[in-house]
Amino acid sequence: MSAPTTPVGRLTVLYDADCPLCVHLRHWLLRQRQLVPLDFVPAGSQQARRLFPALDHTATLREITVIGDRGQVYRETSAWIVCLWALADHRPKAHWLATPAGQPFARVTVLAAAKWREALKGPGPDDGPCRDGHCEVPGPPG
């Protein structure tokens, strides 16, 4: 009898290197025990374009995108869930988030993170706190 195989042996996470939330989450993921290795590549970078020429790289700057080693492409909520699935301590939570009961929670969490990220980055490259290419986390109000 053969051993069960994992449908994904390695994942590449395309993350926004100019977003403090994205960079923080990248560091957090790197500190976790990984069942499936995670590689991180800045979204929209030359490396990303070389590795994944068929992707819409403009879209990868708007939404988290994860690519499996067999060509699987995960976006938005599915991308976050597959990142958690790759982690030893969070795989059970990923399984729950993928169920009908967990999907609304996962979606709301991803939408909240996107709103926070959007507030940091502003509407365009020449606007907002990232206009010089370096984002800063806003301080407390007042």
Which tens digit of pLDDT belongs to each residue from 94-130?
Answer: 999 898 998 888 888 877 777 777 776 665 544 444 4
**According to the model, what pLDDT value does residue 34 have?**
96
3-state helix, strand, coil in the chain (%, to 5): 45, 15, 40
Strand 73-75 versus strand 65-68 pairing type: antiparallel
Say yes or no to pLDDT of 131 above 50: no
Which tens digit of pLDDT belongs to each residue from 33-88?
Answer: 999 999 999 999 999 999 999 999 999 988 889 999 999 999 999 999 999 999 99
CB–CB of 82/94 below 8 Å?
yes
Q: What is the enclosing helix (H) or strand (E) of 73?
A: strand 73-75
- Chain mean position to CA 141: 28
On whether the pTM is more than 0.85, the answer is: no
